[in-house]
Structure 1
């Protein structure tokens, strides 16, 4: 497999140098360029785009840099994966970022191992979030809507449970009738009652619903 092509956007030269050193030290990654802003970096690609771009968002420059790389990415019209290093804690902003190309959000003090793992995950199409941000996102989710009405299942008789158990074992009507010493018509009567109570339309569905509601164990 070819290495993941990684580019870096960071306003601070020392941050760009650290991230480049990290990428260079990882055999699965290949450093392809860096710049202080997205427009400058985009001019360097000349049609050969990276797989992942790491973007360091400094708190005081986050708004300008954010709008800058969004404009540059719109111009490329390429499905780049972004890894953001940010101290941003606004969950509304995270909600806005995730639907776009942002595949990973890490703290700016993330460890080298965490950054490398995020790059590889983003290249594979996976989303990476810190536990605290993930917990806050999940906490903000709306609870699922309750069902309009609960389905009431009428209890089966002991004989019906016997018939359903044999049905689950793969026995046909005649074999069930023989083992229970009843007629074929009686077996059909029990099956009709079982189907009606469980809301089943086939023998297989009746067995599945019987298992789901705890009437039989297989």
Structure 2
């Protein structure tokens, strides 16, 4: 049997990492080799875990995704790793630098899960998901589709769902959320699944827009 594509997920938002790892691990032929929340740890883990693909955020504390990509996939790297940048486009102006740093491609965080999986498989195969010379056309295509910030109160979540999202955005683990809200970890997982189903990978952005966290 063909070995699965091993993926390292790097994003400083716990909910985004949870969404990515859940989506990836559920697919045949893909497995999550590890996850982390900053670029320096991504570089260290990649050296030890030898993933086939790194799914990389750009804006992170410490070493950001651009510099991490350069260290993992840039010119002159002895054992380059394929990097797929996944970015919140209207909050992130650095995608061109990421591509120049050696990334094999990029996606938007509000892309459907199927595009994420396709992107991982495409990059793992050695193909570029998006050539740098067509990046500007992608920018123009998506610019008109970027949603403006929601007004306070415009949320598809229940009050309890909003509370769970607030705690996740503050960095609490499922067990810590369960203790804080006096509910079971399984119930927390159910809320997380519902939040992802309604908001997708833009859930943390939604939390900030709604003023749930500052």
TM-score normalised over the length of structure 1? 0.51
Unaligned runs of 5+ in 1: 138-218
Unaligned runs of 5+ in 2: 140-214
Q: What does 1:122-137 align with in structure 2 at a 5 Å threshold?
A: 122-129=123-130, 133=135, 135=137
Distance 1:120 1:25 in 2: 14
Aligned pair 1:4/2:5, yes or no?
yes
Relative contact order (alpha carbons < 8 A, sep ≥ 6): 1 or 2 greater? 2
- Number of positions where the alignment pairs a residue of Structure 1 with one of Structure 2: 136
Note if contact 2:65-2:98 (Cα within 8 Å) is conserved in structure 1: no
SS in 2 for 1:101: coil
Distance 1:64 1:122 in 2: 23
Q: What does 1:115-194 align with in structure 2 at a 5 Å threshold?
A: 115-129=116-130, 133=135, 135=137
Note if contact 2:66-2:101 (Cα within 8 Å) is conserved in structure 1: no
Note if contact 1:33-1:41 (Cα within 8 Å) is conserved in structure 2: no
Which position in structure 1 is the counterpart of 2:65?
Answer: 66
> Which region of structure 1 is more displaced relative to structure 2, 113-122 or 71-80?
71-80
TM-score normalised over the length of structure 2? 0.52
Q: What does 1:1-218 align with in structure 2 at a 5 Å threshold?
A: 1-45=2-46, 47-58=48-59, 61=60, 65-70=64-69, 72-73=71-72, 77-88=78-89, 94-129=95-130, 133=135, 135=137
Change (3 A) 1:22 1:83: same
Distance 1:45 1:103 in 2: 16
Distance 1:87 1:47 in 2: 28
Note if contact 1:8-1:16 (Cα within 8 Å) is conserved in structure 2: yes
